[in-house]
Structure 1
Amino acid sequence: MSTTTVLVRTGGAEWSRIWSVRSSWILAVVTAVAVVGLGTIIGYNAADEPSGAAPGVSAWDRGQATGMFALFGVLAMSVVTSTADYGTGGIVPTLQWTPRRGALLAARAGVIAATTALLGVLLVAAASVAVWTLLPELGLPAGDGTEILGGLGFVFLSGALLAVGLGLALRSTAGGLVAVIALMLVLPMLLEQLPYGWAVDLSTLMPGSGALYLIFGGGPSDDVTTTSARLTLAAWAVAALLVGGRRLLRTDADR
């Protein structure tokens, strides 16, 4: 059987596995309620402000603020779906059905990351539409939408790959969630608050700082740029996948 056929079949199986787990639906619904709900709140608050329809500000700009909520949903769903069968023991028949572990790694990382990232982008788009419904004068220019959603898509995809890599490395849902939350939220904010230059410099190297910069346009240091933030996120995602992938490829499922 060709590698392409194995990848296609394994990808289809991974897609079915994601949506056959109840936790995936719960996380998707909770994230949708949080993101679209926040977009609605932003629209209501902006409608009451004199600057709600400031020149140059579109509904996409307002909706972009919901990106952090969407990101945490993406991260949580990525960790849960990448580790679920380790907790249930389902990884053993999975490896028996797909003995080519490289194909399983590619299919699992690709399908989970693409699915969760697309979900995050769609939810931010829905939140932006909610803002526009309440403030139609802001408009929904296609150019702004492409730029903002494209940028957020990169953040979501990188974050999802990071989460999958950590999940495969730790083989624990709880451990994966703790690790990804620490890297994306706790450590960057903690280091940024310390009164030491080295701590701020270290904070800029955290993936969470890159995500925050790309979503909100600000970071722990003035030296952070869009390019450096994207490179930081991409580097962490690749490193996590290398570590997690190596454990999947080289060690037994029960170790």
Structure 2
Amino acid sequence: MTTTPAHTAPLAMTSRGAPLRVTYARVLLSEWTKLRSLRSTAYTLLVAVGLSIGLGVLFVAITANEPSGIAPGETAASTSLTGTFFAQLAIGVLGVLMISGEYSTGMIRASLTAVPRRLPILWAKLAVFAAAVFATMLIASLVAFLIGQALLSERDLNTSLADPAALRSVIGAPMYLSVAGMTGLALGALLRNGAAAISSFVGVFFVIPPLTLLLPTSFSDHVVQYLPSNAGAMLLGGHYGVSNPLAPWTGFAVMCCYAVVLIGLAGWRLRRVDA
């Protein structure tokens, strides 16, 4: 592994032979260029937007036609944002591929040669990815909410962004997706294999939560709410079948803790194990 003295930033050379210092801003720009230059990025984000809006509107339409109206434990805002939980699959896969693709093609070795300290690459990937996901899915969340409330208004079940809880839900959906995607990116960096990382992400976010329903109620009631997907989902305003839900920001903090642990492990492996 190449090391650099702590007080000296690594240098690259320009086309004219002049030294070019590697800065975090330049690493960020490099990762942004990688992200936007891949066609899969735009396609995957479009799929996520479509799932978020389309399925959200579908669930709202079903709810609006139900005689009982909004299900117990749900809100007008959370119903509109139900598509978020389907969009997280696309976002998680994109997070995994953002780094596992470099390992599969060997590009990661060029990246580590240009940035020998290694960790700035991971931080830059996380920052660029989270910013892109949050900005994109915030628009999708707002559109899904507005369309959903228009449909629910026919039965006077709607709410507005003036409601602090509704505003928190609309902003919380892209925050939830950003952390879920960063979790996928961390899994990709840790496992360095796209198939293994995607399988792990699907298992954590889609397989384990419903399987916990098979456990004895006395046990599951004290465990289910701490799973990353269930904990983070509290930020959207609904209970989603969780009998003892955490407070919204507490649940989101629990979800962030899972992501931080995985990111820490990914950073440790990036520093200690060669590509």
Calculate the TM-score normalised by the size of structure 2.
0.78
**Equivalent residue number for residue 23 of structure 1:** 40
Q: Residues 181-196 of structure 1: matches in 2 within 5 Å?
A: 181-195=202-216
Q: Does 1:94 align with 2:114?
A: no
**Equivalent residue number for residue 83 of structure 1:** 100
Q: Distance in 2 between matches of 1:252 and 1:21?
A: 25
Q: Distance in 2 between matches of 1:230 and 1:195?
A: 26
**Equivalent residue number for residue 171 of structure 1:** 192
Aligned-residue offset at 1:158:
2.2
Label 1:212 to 1:58 Cα distance change in 2 as closer, same or farther (>3 A). closer
Residues 80, 148 of structure 2: 8 Å contact kept: yes
Segments of structure 2 that go 5 or more residues without pairing to the other structure are 1-7, 11-20
Query: Across the two proteins, how many residue pairs are aligned to each other?
Result: 251
**Equivalent residue number for residue 88 of structure 2:** 71
**Corresponding letter in the other structure for 2:128:** V
**Equivalent residue number for residue 114 of structure 1:** 131
Label 1:196 to 1:64 Cα distance change in 2 as closer, same or farther (>3 A). closer
Residues 203, 220 of structure 1: 8 Å contact kept: yes
Residues 27, 77 of structure 1: 8 Å contact kept: yes
- Structure index of larger Rg: 2
Segments of structure 1 that go 5 or more residues without pairing to the other structure are none
**Identical positions, percent:** 24
Q: Distance in 2 between matches of 1:84 and 1:107?
A: 16
Aligned-residue offset at 1:190:
0.9
Q: Residues 1-255 of structure 1: matches in 2 within 5 Å?
A: 6-46=23-63, 48=65, 60-134=77-151, 138=158, 140-144=160-164, 146-195=167-216, 197-215=218-236, 216-218=238-240, 220-222=242-244, 224-253=246-275
Secondary structure in 2 matching 1:92: helix
Calculate the TM-score normalised by the size of structure 1.
0.83
Residues 43, 135 of structure 1: 8 Å contact kept: yes
Label 1:52 to 1:206 Cα distance change in 2 as closer, same or farther (>3 A). closer
Range with greater deviation from structure 2 (81-90 or 208-217): 208-217
Aligned-residue offset at 1:168:
0.5
Residues 6, 103 of structure 1: 8 Å contact kept: no
Aligned-residue offset at 1:208:
2.0
Aligned-residue offset at 1:235:
1.2
Runs of 4 or more above 6 Å deviation: 1-5, 50-53
Q: Distance in 1 between matches of 2:261 and 2:197?
A: 15
Write out per-residue CA displacement over residues 16-64 of structure 1, whole angstroms, 9 at most, x where no aligned residue.
Answer: 21122232222112222222222332454455457779xxx99644422
Return the structure number with greater helix share.
Answer: 1
Q: Distance in 2 between matches of 1:196 and 1:45?
A: 29
